[in-house]
Structure 1
Amino acid sequence: MQLKPQDFLVALKLVAWGEQRWTYARLAQELGISVSEAHACIKRGLLAGLLLPNREPAPAGSTGGPDANKVGSDMAAQEPLGIYRVTRKRVRRAALPDDAEAAADNPVRPNARNLAEFALHGAKYAFPAVKLPLVAGVPTSHSAPAFAGVFAPGSTDFVWPHPNGTVRGVGIEPLHPAVPFAAMQDAKLYELLALFDALRVGKARERGMALERLQALIDPESVPRTKGPSYG
């Protein structure tokens, strides 16, 4: 199994969504990919350890609680010639509790620790940046709108080539062809993708900022909390 760029894109999209409910159809629509490709990305993400299932699959052959087999064998012993047809009762979706309904809509979640480690230290080698000639496009890396005012003016602008681009700069081949479209639909995903590009093409200061910010966005639990002043 080889991890593909769109698998990383899907994982970052789930980070951007946070606790939002989502379906494969919505995931595909917002990323500009097919539903079948969205399923394939989730499958590879699970195998790679970048994602975690929100519910464990039922064991094969499991039909009930711990005493189900015992009850069945007792019935067979009493009436060995009986033939039974068991009809599974259907449960309407509307009758599901909120937690069960949410799990049905959100089959997986990011594996924060693994995904952060891959994003910070592995992804730029798995998906290296390819620089292109000057072109109009969508700003990325430190040129993205999320970092306006963070870096001094005059820095080289980097862009994803796009026919509707308004900024001219050094072109960077996006992680996946769907990236410019997907980024323009979701500001948080845009920030995550721009930070990843800063790791790929940025200078030392930009890479340092990107490392800290990506860590905080993907795996906030790993970031030490700043202690307030102590009194007394």
Structure 2
Amino acid sequence: MQLKPQDFLAALKLVAWGEQRWTYARLALELGISVSEAHACIKRGVQAGLLIDPALLIPPPESAAGVQEAAAVYRVQARPRRAKAAMATNADNPARAHSRNLAEFAVHGAKYAFPADKLPVSVGVPTSHSAPAFAGVFAPGSDDWVWPHPNGTVRGQGLAPLHPSVPFAAMQDAKLYEMLALFDALRVGRARERGMALKRLPLLIYPEGPKAAERPMYG
């Protein structure tokens, strides 16, 4: 099994959704991929440890304790688990993000698994530190990065998106867009942008995780 870029994209989408209920059809629609590919993304994500299959979290029935009494053995019946009900509750959520693993992969592994592919200067959707989420942090300038796209409005250094559907998916979901831009900052940003991404991206994916050492985020 080899993890694909769209698998990482799908995992980040589940983070962006949080506790929302979702279906494979909705995942496919919002990521601009087929339903069959959405299924494959989730399957590979679970295999890689970036996602968790809720069905696997249902504990098996407790082993019943035997009680011996007057040459007869009586079996104490354990209370039946409501496995089917639990599975039904998660019927629309076949998986959820393994936040700790995904945050670790996003920061320390993904940029090597999916290295940056720089393209010629073009017009497109801004990414990295040029994304709208960081408009008040980094001033626009000649070092803007963009995903080339016909509906783009910013001219800058071209960068191939993680997956061809990324511009479409990002423009529909602000949180997903921010995470993808931060990932690009890790791939192509200068020290200042990388430092910002190293602090911000793990917090978006795994808010309960260990906090980075206190230091000026953008200085």
Q: Which amino acid aligns with 1:174?
A: P
TM-score, normalization by structure 1: 0.78
Matches within 5 A, 1:133-212: 133-154=120-141, 156-212=143-199
Contact 1:49 1:114 in 2 (8 A): yes
Q: Distance in 1 between matches of 2:198 and 2:99?
A: 15
Unaligned runs of 5+ in 2: 65-83, 214-219
- Which of residues 207, 218, 221 in structure 1 aligns to 2:208? 221
> What is the alpha-carbon root mean square deviation over aligned residues?
2.4
Contact 1:21 1:102 in 2 (8 A): no
Moved >6 Å (runs of 4+): 64-67
Q: Distance in 2 between matches of 1:152 and 1:35?
A: 39
- Which of residues 89, 92, 95 in structure 2 aligns to 1:105? 92
**Cα gap change, 1:122 to 1:65, in 2 (>3 Å):** closer
Q: For residues 104-123 of structure 1, give each alpha carbon's deviation from its aligned partner in whole angstroms, at most 9, with x where no partner exists.
A: 11111111111111100110
- Which of residues 103, 111, 121 in structure 1 aligns to 2:108? 121
Q: Distance in 1 between matches of 2:182 and 2:142?
A: 16
Identity of aligned residues (%): 75
Between the two proteins, the alignment pairs up a number of residues equal to 194
TM-score, normalization by structure 2: 0.82
Question: Is 6-15 or 152-161 further displaced after alignment?
Answer: 152-161
Q: Which amino acid aligns with 1:208?
A: G
Q: Which amino acid aligns with 1:133?
A: P
Q: For residues 113-156 of structure 1, give each alpha carbon's deviation from its aligned partner in whole angstroms, at most 9, with x where no partner exists.
A: 11111100110011001111110100000000000010134351
Contact 2:147 2:158 in 1 (8 A): yes
Whose helix fraction is larger, Structure 1's or Structure 2's?
1
Q: Distance in 2 between matches of 1:12 and 1:58?
A: 24
